[in-house]
Structure 1
Amino acid sequence: MYAEVALAQGNFVYFLGDEFGWISPGCPVLVPFRNSTRMGIVVKVMATTTVEKVKSVKAALSEEPILGRGLISLSSIMAEYYGASQGKCIKLMLPPWVRERIKNGKPLVYESRVPDHRQAGKEPFEPKEQKLHPEVQNAISSHRFKTFLLFGEGRMDTYLASIECTLGEGREAIFLQSEIALTFGVVEKMRSKFGDCIAVLHSKLRQKERAILWEGIRRGNFGVCVGSMSAVFAPFPNLGLIIVDREDSDAYKAEQHPWHNVRDVAVMRAKIDKIPCILGSSTPSFESFYNAKRDKYELLHTGKTGRTLPVTIVDMHKEKTGALSRYLMKRTRETLDRGEKVVLFLPRKGYSQFCMCLDCGWIPYCPRCSVTLNYYKKGHKLKCHYCGYERPAPTMCENCGGIRFAYPGGGTERLEMTIKSAFRGARIIRMDKDILRTPAECERAYRDFKENGDILLGTQFVIRVPQPESVTLVGMISCDPILSFPDFRTSERVFSQIMKTKEMIKKGEIVLQTYNPQNPTFNYIKNDDYVSFYSEEFKKRRRFKLPPSSHLIRILSTSTEKEKAREFINGVAEELRKCGYQFLGASPCPIERIKGRWRYHILVKVSDPRKFFHNTSLPRAVSVEVDPRDMM
């Protein structure tokens, strides 16, 4: 007998001795590889092989498979789609603690520590018509693959009814949220409805705690898994439903190889397991809405899009009052006088984007990245947001010796000082990654705002979580930094961001400050008109063969030597020309250097990434990302 074993370097065939005749797909094994011994996962068992000079499996590390056949199949499909090895995709599915325990031949967790919250004898659920669409109920009951796009606000009723129906069928459900911080409110609702059968799984848990929950899920001891990215791989033995809320969020896109999109992986897994998948959003991603338009997904409306909030657009060219316009200052003061709360959003951290000598114009840059250093007044320091490099802020210009400096482009630190000065006595809570580093700290700060705060200010987090009813004013200090990004998705991101802010509060007003009030995106936002916005944007993208009508593949070459990085990318460009592919580049990335490595990239337009990887052979010196969300 022979086994195909998935390693990080690829799949390899090994001989199975008689003592390993019981091994099946999903079992971890130790195998010789080059001059070392590696741990791999068996993905296939065969009676014969055409491979010559086959080495033997050294040891089996578990008496049973640790991954089911569904997850093994998923890893294979992911590897094919994302151009990665199956071993690297399997690595995503196993928590680090689990991998280490298996590698060292230890039990995953001690039996007494595995929680058990099985739902025994639960009566089948009879859904109410207004909460669960008949097509969704039918797909759950018949164990049939189908992807639903749930469009609109008030999606939670449908989610809860779908999960209850799934549990009534004796199966399990996965509920995905784009941010770890968003899971807290969801878990509270679910535990009040379903009891203790909820497992919360995400990467910020302590490794041991995460491994214990993972093992409990693998044994079927939970009914529902709530989490962010890693929860899509929850190893349920009898999975019946996957829900992806806010499916358009960029947070679902992995930031390291194989750069998978959790939304797409959820659909892949649902197809393998022959179960329904519900994607939900008030502003669906263009890719999902495109699939719904082509009847690949079934579009469902929540019927709760009638509530509209006024959006006031302030032209900052007419203002000379700094970060806050006169109108926003007035509305903030009126809101506080009524005893209500205010949320202010600014997509930049720190005090200033950079510091500049007023005598010669010198600006300090990061020595390891092609970006300016952000200025922090607290500590009088400069910091790079890409590599973490820090240095004291200069008191004398290193170019001309001048001592006069300007600090343009304010961030959350400066905004906090401005607010404290303008609204003395107001209780101000600031939320950004400079001061809140863990989900627990975020939860405490958010709870403090709900109970005691007057003004909440910060970066992305403050507009991603549902706010208390007492919040009646949201100020978007500036969306211009996002609109200025060299990316065809910038309008989609701004539209989605502001529309989600409208979803976040129940009543009141949104004030949007901008230096570009004529941007057509703002008219669609004021009219709550996603469909027209999609139609216009899609026409532009189709003209240039951009997603969603095609796929983009980004090929990135990096090196500590600039010439070497350029040489690698030019070699790839020559190979692509021979294969007849359309591409943009090879050229330096918008941020040419990060963490001491020079960066060059190519963007390839393809109809099917799997065919691209099948027809081309790319050097290992470059990294490849399918459907990139960040072009920087």
Structure 2
Amino acid sequence: MSRDPVDAVYLDIIVDVPAVGDRRFTYSCPSEISLPRGAKVRVPFGRARADGFVLGECAEKPPFSIKPVEDIYDLSFLPPQELLGLTEALARHYCASTASLWSNLYPPVVPRKSVARVLKEGGLPPHPAIPDREPAQEVEKTDLSKEMETVPVLYVWGSRRFRWNKYLDLTDSALRRGQSVLILCPETKVLEGILALLSARFPGEVCPVNSEMTGVVRRTSWLALSRGEVKIAAGTRSAVFAPLRDLGLVILDEEPGSAYKSLDWPFIDARTAAVARGTRGAKVVFGSAYPSVEAVENIERRRWSCLREGPAEPPENGEGLLEPGPRVTVVDLKETRPRREIISAPLQGKLAAAFSSGHRAVLFLNRRGDSSYVSCRDCGSAISCPRCGVPMSYHRREGKTICHTCGFREEAPAVCPACGGHNWRFSGLGIEKAEAEFQRKFPEVPVFTLDQDVARKTTPSEILGAFGRVSPGCLIATQLVLGQSLLPKVGMVGVLSADTALSVPDFRASERAYRLLAGLKDCVDPELGSRGVYVVQTQNPDHHAIRGVAGGGSFYEDELRMRRMLGYPPFKRFFRVKFEGRNLEKVSEAASAFVSMLPPEGDIRVLGPAPAPKPKVRGVYRWHVALKGDDHGTMAAECRRVLEGMSKFRAVKILVDVDPVDTE
């Protein structure tokens, strides 16, 4: 143990170690070095080293020996104090540690210096003084969820062109007022087009921010934004905490995009963080062609204002008027696919007509590989992943079976490991099987595939470029095709199985299926109008998501009615508590103990504990508990209280996911 320096100050520091939460640890620092609140440091922690963040000075010297701060990160990257306070409140909103949120405020690989070197160089540059107040006590009094309910969100509901015309006008107005603007999109594949659009309108004012940028570029962008050298930050989820000066406008496009929600702890949702930034005075604008169910409810209840695109007025000369969208055909597979072919007779006929007219077609199937299930015909045993226990998919091109959960792969066995048999049954659909069947039925038509496996060997732009150079032609693709700006004009889109999206055990499955099907419908060349063709194959033709896309029902009305009846968001708050560990008995015990510590009566409804839909991933056992309630603050407070009493389950990782988008 290091001895305390004779002339030192003592700092309260929180460390970025999930297991310790917001517990404060005391470290010493030479009095010549004054560290502000939020300063990032490197400290000894147990037998290792950990990153930490300064909260402030201790009022008195502790009556025990104290370890010293070892390294100090460059204070040029110190986040604004307002942003530090906001993310403290967000940490409580998400039942996460403050350190886990503050780590998101710094760009990657910030330079650091040892304390000894800092002293040798004459100390630190000037910076704000450490506040005397206790930040944790101040945040305790703040219910961020209540504040966010009062933020006046504007929703722009319409086509991409309609939305961006409005976004650009709003951005121009904010810049004229001397304010900065934050613009978010869900995925990097659409960010390039957005940056080009913004740079053409506002040259020299746009700074990209996303996690795929190198550390050096991210740090340069961070400093440019914090110094006010540029006024517009545009990026994906990680850009939501960009340190813009005088932030006046936050625009979040494609609001329903699931990529806005982090699937890693602390499970931050950029949509929530965007509204949270609105509590500090920025105007918040969301937009999409197909809003989330929660957004529609907020609009209908007049909590949010809405600017919705109306039907286009015909020009005076009648030229350039777009016809209605593509004709939609729903194929009931229970009646039209007796031989279990992937491409039904009605779909085959539509494809033949499209190709004879010289059109391109896209066939959609959101499953990689050839077959999703491989089993022995002799004994019935399936080929399963040794790490996850789930069936492995067969990939014909590679000759391997692959686990789509963890990525484990091995050569497809010639002999059944259970009985020694040689007869295999290849069940289920996959994009490779669809490609083989298409080639049998249309041998003269060039066919291309686009999925993760193909994208590892070549870029989507190369595949789409080759597809665009032939006509007729066919592209068989997974969801990678959505949002691709280089997708050439197609006269037809066919969905080989809508049921893969509907069969997911998640209350949001219908909503995701509706947006997926609607987005695929928009891939048909709009200039063709009703001459375009859209075919959906399904075993559930009467499902409200499919009827909504086909124009035979109101999806939002039906979905909201079902959610209200079953008590799911937006009518109830929904938390998912996950328990993970390598000992199944301890994981299940921890889940049961968590439930037993919740109040037996009250406003929180408890579902579980139970094994997760994927009960084992990469050798880690997984259980979960679902919580429903009316008040976010009450639910978060109960979760934090129970977590404090779960310290004996050190071998189990316990994570609270607020408003989860993935319940697998």
Query: TM over 0.5, yes or no?
Result: yes
Q: 1:442 to 1:53 in 2, by over 3 A?
A: farther
Offset, 1:289: 2.1
Pick aligned residue for 2:285 from 275, 278, 287: 278
Pick aligned residue for 1:543 from 557, 565, 570: 565
Q: 1:451 to 1:51 in 2, by over 3 A?
A: farther
Q: Is 259-268 or 50-59 further displaced after alignment?
A: 50-59
Q: Which residue of 2 aligns with 1:102?
A: 112
For residues 373 and 538 of structure 2, what CA distance do their matches in structure 1 show?
21
Offset, 1:528: 7.6
1:288 is paired with a residue whose SS is helix
Q: Which residue of 2 aligns with 1:611?
A: 634
Matches within 5 A, 1:57-206: 58=69, 60-64=72-76, 66-98=78-110, 101-102=111-112, 146-153=152-159, 154-206=162-214
Q: 1:189 to 1:452 in 2, by over 3 A?
A: farther
2:662 maps to a residue whose letter is D
Q: Which residue of 2 aligns with 1:298?
A: 305
| C-alpha contact (below 8 Å) 2:43/2:51 kept by paired residues | yes
Q: Which residue of 1 aligns with 2:430?
A: 411
Matches within 5 A, 1:429-444: 429-437=448-456, 441-444=459-462
1:498 is paired with a residue whose SS is helix
For residues 57 and 444 of structure 1, what CA distance do their matches in structure 2 show?
54
For residues 265 and 479 of structure 1, what CA distance do their matches in structure 2 show?
33
Q: 1:245 to 1:606 in 2, by over 3 A?
A: same
Q: 1:458 to 1:196 in 2, by over 3 A?
A: farther
Matches within 5 A, 1:21-60: 21=34, 23-31=35-43, 33-34=45-46, 38-42=50-54, 44-45=55-56, 48=59, 58=69, 60=72
Mapped pair 1:19 → 2:46? no
Offset, 1:447: 3.9
For residues 490 and 63 of structure 2, what CA distance do their matches in structure 1 show?
69
Mapped pair 1:214 → 2:212? no
| C-alpha contact (below 8 Å) 2:461/2:486 kept by paired residues | no
Offset, 1:145: 5.7
| C-alpha contact (below 8 Å) 1:4/1:11 kept by paired residues | no
For residues 81 and 202 of structure 2, what CA distance do their matches in structure 1 show?
28
Q: Which residue of 2 aligns with 1:515?
A: 539
Q: Percent identity?
A: 28
Q: Which residue of 2 aligns with 1:555?
A: 577
Offset, 1:49: 7.2
| C-alpha contact (below 8 Å) 2:224/2:230 kept by paired residues | yes
Q: For this pair of structures, how many residues does the alignment match? A: 588
For residues 251 and 552 of structure 2, what CA distance do their matches in structure 1 show?
25
Q: 1:103 to 1:91 in 2, by over 3 A?
A: farther
| C-alpha contact (below 8 Å) 1:466/1:504 kept by paired residues | no
1:295 maps to a residue whose letter is R
Q: Deviations over 1:33-61 (max 9, x none)?
A: 4565543233x546847987695863643
2:218 is paired with a residue whose SS is helix
Matches within 5 A, 1:579-594: 580=602, 581-594=604-617
Pick aligned residue for 1:462 from 467, 471, 481: 481
1:217 is paired with a residue whose SS is helix
| C-alpha contact (below 8 Å) 2:181/2:250 kept by paired residues | yes
Mapped pair 1:629 → 2:629? no
Pick aligned residue for 2:371 from 332, 345, 352: 352
| C-alpha contact (below 8 Å) 2:598/2:642 kept by paired residues | no
Offset, 1:458: 1.4
For residues 548 and 49 of structure 1, what CA distance do their matches in structure 2 show?
48
For residues 87 and 386 of structure 1, what CA distance do their matches in structure 2 show?
30
Q: 1:68 to 1:316 in 2, by over 3 A?
A: same
1:538 is paired with a residue whose SS is helix
Offset, 1:203: 1.7
Pick aligned residue for 1:401 from 403, 411, 420: 420
| C-alpha contact (below 8 Å) 2:209/2:233 kept by paired residues | yes
| C-alpha contact (below 8 Å) 1:252/1:261 kept by paired residues | yes
Pick aligned residue for 1:233 from 219, 226, 241: 241
Q: Deviations over 1:575-596 (max 9, x none)?
A: 1244743211111112211111
Q: Deviations over 1:121-149 (max 9, x none)?
A: xxxxxxxxxxxxxxxxxxxxxxx963112
2:438 is paired with a residue whose SS is helix
1:407 is paired with a residue whose SS is strand
2:293 maps to a residue whose letter is F
Q: Deviations over 1:52-100 (max 9, x none)?
A: 76958636433445211232123212211111101111222323322xx
2:91 is paired with a residue whose SS is helix
2:463 maps to a residue whose letter is A
1:628 maps to a residue whose letter is P
Mapped pair 1:251 → 2:259? yes
Q: 1:456 to 1:77 in 2, by over 3 A?
A: farther
Structure of greater Rg? 2
1:308 maps to a residue whose letter is G
For residues 464 and 376 of structure 1, what CA distance do their matches in structure 2 show?
26
Q: 1:207 to 1:426 in 2, by over 3 A?
A: farther
| C-alpha contact (below 8 Å) 1:28/1:65 kept by paired residues | no
Mapped pair 1:268 → 2:276? yes
Q: 1:557 to 1:349 in 2, by over 3 A?
A: same
Matches within 5 A, 1:495-534: 495-505=514-524, 506=526, 507=528, 508-527=532-551, 532-534=554-556
1:205 maps to a residue whose letter is M
Q: 1:535 to 1:149 in 2, by over 3 A?
A: same
For residues 585 and 521 of structure 2, what CA distance do their matches in structure 1 show?
48
For residues 382 and 73 of structure 2, what CA distance do their matches in structure 1 show?
56
What is the RMSD computed on CA atoms of the aligned residues? 2.9
2:198 maps to a residue whose letter is M
2:585 is paired with a residue whose SS is helix
What runs of 5+ residues in structure 1 fail to find an aligned partner?
108-143
Q: Which residue of 2 aligns with 1:565?
A: 587
For residues 403 and 47 of structure 2, what CA distance do their matches in structure 1 show?
40
Q: Which residue of 2 aligns with 1:124?
A: none
Q: 1:539 to 1:55 in 2, by over 3 A?
A: farther
Q: 1:259 to 1:360 in 2, by over 3 A?
A: same
Pick aligned residue for 2:405 from 376, 379, 386: 386
| C-alpha contact (below 8 Å) 1:181/1:442 kept by paired residues | no
For residues 562 and 399 of structure 1, what CA distance do their matches in structure 2 show?
25
Offset, 1:492: 1.1
Q: 1:104 to 1:461 in 2, by over 3 A?
A: farther
| C-alpha contact (below 8 Å) 1:314/1:512 kept by paired residues | yes
For residues 10 and 601 of structure 2, what CA distance do their matches in structure 1 show?
36
| C-alpha contact (below 8 Å) 2:465/2:486 kept by paired residues | no
Q: 1:331 to 1:70 in 2, by over 3 A?
A: farther
Q: Which residue of 2 aligns with 1:493?
A: 512
Q: 1:74 to 1:445 in 2, by over 3 A?
A: farther
For residues 338 and 209 of structure 1, what CA distance do their matches in structure 2 show?
48
Q: Which residue of 1 aligns with 2:357?
A: 338
For residues 60 and 400 of structure 1, what CA distance do their matches in structure 2 show?
61
Q: Which residue of 2 aligns with 1:576?
A: 598
| C-alpha contact (below 8 Å) 1:384/1:390 kept by paired residues | yes
Q: Is 260-269 or 235-244 further displaced after alignment?
A: 235-244
Q: Is 163-172 or 10-19 further displaced after alignment?
A: 10-19
TM-score (ref. length: structure 1)? 0.85
Offset, 1:266: 1.1
Q: Which residue of 1 aligns with 2:13?
A: 5
1:278 maps to a residue whose letter is V
2:417 is paired with a residue whose SS is coil
Offset, 1:103: 6.4
Offset, 1:543: 2.3
TM-score (ref. length: structure 2)? 0.82
Q: Which residue of 2 aligns with 1:449?
A: 467
Q: Is 445-454 or 616-625 further displaced after alignment?
A: 445-454
| C-alpha contact (below 8 Å) 1:24/1:65 kept by paired residues | no
For residues 376 and 341 of structure 1, what CA distance do their matches in structure 2 show?
26
Offset, 1:32: 5.2
1:91 is paired with a residue whose SS is helix
